[in-house]
Amino acid sequence: MTLTPLSPAPTAPLDLVHGRIDLTHGAGGRATAQLLDTLFKPAFANEWLAQGNDQALFSVPPGRLVMSTDAHVVAPLFFPGGDIGSLAVHGTINDVAMSGARPLHLAASFILEEGLPLADLARIVASLAQAARDAGVAVVTGDTKVVERGKGDGVFITTTGIGVVPDGLLISGDQARPGDAILINGTLGDHGIAILSQRAHLGFETVLQSDSAALHGLVADMIAAVPEIHCLRDPTRGGLATTLNELAHQSGVGMRIHEAAIPLQPAVIAACELLGLDPLYSANEGKLVAICPAAQAETLLATMRRHPLGTQAAIIGEVVADPLHFVQLRTRFGGERLLDWLTGEQLPRIC
Amino acid sequence: MTLTPLSPAPTAPLDLVHGRIDLTHGAGGRATAQLLDTLFKPAFANEWLAQGNDQALFSVPPGRLVMSTDAHVVAPLFFPGGDIGSLAVHGTINDVAMSGARPLHLAASFILEEGLPLADLARIVASLAQAARDAGVAVVTGDTKVVERGKGDGVFITTTGIGVVPDGLLISGDQARPGDAILINGTLGDHGIAILSQRAHLGFETVLQSDSAALHGLVADMIAAVPEIHCLRDPTRGGLATTLNELAHQSGVGMRIHEAAIPLQPAVIAACELLGLDPLYSANEGKLVAICPAAQAETLLATMRRHPLGTQAAIIGEVVADPLHFVQLRTRFGGERLLDWLTGEQLPRIC
């Protein structure tokens, strides 16, 4: 009879300065527990994670729930205005908020590549936790897996959010009606061009920052002022042009957009001209398209402009009857062209 | 003025026989929409996905909710008894069910590697959808990203599940009490050894199949018979030994396990002897550990044995008072040894 543990030596403390992820961190045993206890749990500390189970248990207020999930694979992991951690919070919160819901909780799942510096992981986890705190949501449950070197790319993060939709709201992509006004909350293309500026092989730099932000506070103000909002959607991959086409298709309508009304930063215009890109197809991570009855458009605009994330909000066009569901752009020079869906790929791994 | 779309040619139909994933499928534009419309949406068809929004909206019955998430990175993608699609359903449903909850909905997020054959993806998506249907849950929302060749490994799938816990249950890893009985629902190590058999470089084959299965039906029967169940947990990565150590640690107790009472398939015993592995550390994907008051143990055992996923259920040990929280194994030969947490790595990417 022996009472000696199979491996009696305590595991050495994690070296958060020089250490790296290895395959034992994904094995589900002692090294995984150490990684969770040292690096993840302190960052996210909350009553649900403290339950210590493989699932979080909580009560929700009565009402309708929404659920949304997004994988985040952005490269590089750190970029001007954010990183994959904060982006993983903002991206999913925004998808939840675009139903009019108040976001409640997040689940976060990490796929780590062997060799990832623990210092990078700690920075990303801290950023994710801070973004969640700032947004007033808790990361209540999570998972961590490790893949061999060359089978991943540093870290991928999938976040899943749930939220509660207040009674009486009907905000959905199929609710746009001819005559409705189309609004956005600020400048377009900032995230896409900020990421592009970091891709070393493009030899291109800019002072531009990603617009990555959680929009649920802005949405709450908008709904309080104009509960009749018909559609909300965040123009991420594929940009404004693709989002408008999705909404036109889903609602069975057409749209007319006024190019001169679309706010753009000079740095985005310059970068797009240099590289032959179109800012209307460039990704955003802190922007939303809102569609509401024309009679409420000015009220909604004024509300948006009072919020820090809507100071440059604008009415950019209107919904029209069109059996072909075309999105037409009236250019600065008075011409008109179709604004089609994104075809092909502007830039891989933007989010 | 022109009304010609920027790319007027309709996209060619997806070639589900010879086609492969490319980066445009992750760009959020027309190719992404085509992939979703052709391959994903028909497989999962339900009223929530049909909403066509970036989030799913639904009502939930009153009560406490649980939420759980798991990234699945199993290699190979297809293995005896399942594939990454069915595993992604079973893994998350089981984590939800281990709280006593009835699983309601799943979110599924895919990270695809450029070059993945569409035929493989279609097979995986069909398997995931079938497993969800068999389990009575809907995949209500999802996401798809694409990474460059060599930055992923075919497909990774993160699933997030929510469920509703019936009133009156208190099932948690911290509820084990001295005197409680410890049960399992069948043979151990089947999943881990089945995966191992597929790793070509090991030159090892077996007739063994993964035990991958959704356990919520079994759990519902168990709760109906013995609502006083204290703990439920599925011994996945790290195997039974690690799960028992987690529960002992969380509840502040010790455990005594009887090796002779643990059901093992002969093929698992043979493989483990050949390879120097311990089946008590090998992963399972259709097994659960249940801890309940000793007075209810026989009732619980009989209930488990009546269910198809519990025909080989067994009482394998008991909870004891132990300030050191040791899990002790009484061996077949009458000796005793400590059953420690998994240290190191038996086999990477088991789930």
Q: Which residues pair with A161 in a beta bridge?
A: A68, A106
Pairing of strands A181-184, A289-292: antiparallel
B70 and A95 within 8 Å at the Cβ level: the answer is: no
Q: A90 and A286 in contact (C-beta within 8 Å)?
A: yes
Query: By three-state DSSP, how is residue A42 classified?
Result: helix
User: How far is Cα A154 from Cα A84, in angstroms, rounded to an integer?
Assistant: 11
- Least confident range of A59-68, A85-94, A324-333, B138-147: A59-68
pLDDT in tens, A266-307: 999 988 988 888 999 999 999 999 999 999 999 999 999 999
**Structural domain boundaries in chain B:** 23-165, 181-338
Average model confidence (pLDDT) across chain B: 93
| Four-way CATH pick for B181-338: 3.40.50.300, 3.40.50.460, 3.40.50.1110, 3.90.650.10 | 3.90.650.10
pLDDT of residue A269: 92
Residue B329: CB atoms within 10 A of its CB come to 21
Whether the Cβ atoms of residue A20 and residue A119 lie closer than 8 Å to each other? no
Tell me: the pLDDT tens digits for A172-183?
999 999 999 999
The answer to whether A187 and A311 have CB atoms below 8 angstroms apart is no
What confidence tens digit (pLDDT) does each residue in A238-248 have?
Answer: 999 999 999 99
Report residue B233's pLDDT band, with 50, 70 and 90 as the boundaries.
very high
Strands B336-338 and A181-184: unpaired
pLDDT tens digits for B80-132?
999 999 999 999 999 999 999 999 999 999 999 999 999 999 999 999 999 99
Q: Tokens in use for B150? A: 């060599």
Tokens of A11: 């595991």
- Are A111 and B343 within 8 A, CB to CB? no
Residues of chain B contacting A73 with CB distance shorter than 8 Å = 111, 145, 147
Give the count of Cβ contacts less than 8 A between chain A and B.
318
Cis omega before residue A266 (within 30°)? Answer: no
- Alpha-carbon distance of A213 to B209, in angstroms, equals 47
With beta carbons less than 8 A apart as the criterion, state whether B272 and B279 touch.
Answer: yes
Q: Report CB contact under 8 Å: B341, A29.
A: yes
Average pLDDT over residues B184-208: 82
* Mean pLDDT taken over chain A: 93
What is the per-residue pLDDT for A207?
Answer: 76
A316 three-class SS: strand
d(CA A153, CA A326): 39
Q: What is the pLDDT of residue B275?
A: 84
Range of lowest pLDDT (A147-161, B48-62, B312-326)? B48-62
Q: What would you report as the CA-atom Rg of chain B, rounded to the nearest whole angstrom?
A: 22
In the block, residue with structure tokens 């060619």: B12
Q: A57, B165: Cβ pair inside 8 Å?
A: yes
**Pairwise pLDDT comparison (B3 vs A151), residue with the higher score:** A151
First to last CA, chain B: 56
DSSP for B265-300, written as a single string = -HHHHHHHHHHT--GGGS--SS--EEEE-GGGHHHH
Residues B300/B310, Cβ–Cβ less than 8 Å = no
How far apart CA A216 and CA A219 sit, in angstroms, is 5
Q: What pLDDT score does A205 carry?
A: 61
Give the residue carrying structure tokens 């009749």. Answer: A228
Place of tokens 């623990």: A118
Q: State the pLDDT at residue B162.
A: 97
Q: Which pLDDT score is estimated for A197?
A: 83
Contacts of B153 in chain A (CB under 8 A): 147, 151-152
Distance, CA of B229 to CA of B305 (rounded, Å): 16
> Residue B62's pLDDT band (boundaries 50, 70, 90)?
confident
- Cα gap A196→A347, rounded to integer Å: 7
pLDDT at A196 over 90: no
Phi-psi region at B195: left, alpha or beta (left = phi > 0; alpha = psi -120 to 50): alpha
What pLDDT, in 10s, does the model give residues B4-37?
333 334 468 999 999 999 999 999 889 999 999 9
Asked if A143 lies within 8 A of B71 by C-beta distance, the reply is yes
Which range is least confidently modeled, A193-202, B17-26, B242-251, B256-265?
Answer: A193-202
> Which of B3, B111, B145 would you mutate first to test chain A, the one with the most A CBs within 10 A?
B145
Which of A95, A158, A242 is nearest residue B158 as measured by Cβ atoms?
Answer: A158
Helix boundaries (H) for chain A? 30-35, 41-44, 84-97, 118-135, 190-198, 216-225, 239-251, 266-275, 297-306
Q: Which 3 state secondary structure label does DSSP give B346?
A: coil
Show residues of chain B in contact with A336, CB under 8 Å: 1-3
Query: Per the CB < 8 Å rule, is B59 touching A58?
Result: no
How confident is the model at residue A11, as a pLDDT? Answer: 66
B237 and A32 within 8 Å at the Cβ level: the answer is yes
Which of A229, A254, A249 lies closest to A238 in space, CA to CA?
A: A249
Tell me the mean pLDDT in the region B179-204: 87
Question: Which pLDDT score, from 0 to 100, does residue B196 have?
Answer: 87
Q: Is the dihedral of CA A196, A198, A203, A204 positive or negative?
A: positive
Give the mean pLDDT of B191-204: 77
DSSP class of A261: G
Contact yes or no for B340/B241 (Cβ under 8 A): yes
Mutate to test the interface with B, among A105, A159, A243, A345 (most CBs of B within 10 A): A345
In this model, does residue B2 exceed pLDDT 70? no
B202 pLDDT band, cuts 50/70/90, is low
Sorted by sequence, the CB contacts under 8 Å of residue B52 that are 6+ apart come out as A173, A174, A250
pLDDT higher than threshold 90 for residue A130? yes
What's the pLDDT score for residue A9? 41
Nearest-neighbour CA in chain B from A285: distance (Å): 14
List the single range of A30-34, A73-77, B222-226, B288-292 with lowest mean pLDDT: A30-34
Q: Which CATH superfamily is domain A23-165 in?
A: PurM-like, N-terminal domain (3.30.1330.10)
How many other CB atoms sit within 10 Å of the CB of residue A154? 20
Q: A198: pLDDT confidence band, cut at 50, 70 and 90? A: confident
What is the pLDDT at residue A1? 29
- Whether A107 sits inside 8 A of B26 (CB atoms) is no
pLDDT of amino acid B206: 60
For residue A231, which of A162, A293, A175 has the smallest C-alpha distance? A175
Q: What is the dihedral of CA A7, A8, A9, A14, to 10 degrees?
A: 70
At B264 the pLDDT is 97
**pLDDT (average), residues B290-310:** 98
Residue B171: other Cβ atoms inside 10 A:
26
Residue B161 pLDDT more than 50? yes
Q: Do A147 and B174 touch (CB under 8 A)?
A: no
The C-alpha atoms of residue A198 and residue A184 are separated, in whole angstroms, by 26
Q: What is the percentage of chain B residues whose pLDDT exceeds 70?
A: 95
What average pLDDT does the segment B164-175 reach?
A: 95
Alpha-carbon torsion (A212, A218, A220, A223), positive or negative: negative
Task: Report the residue of chain B nearest A330, measured CA to CA.
Answer: B1
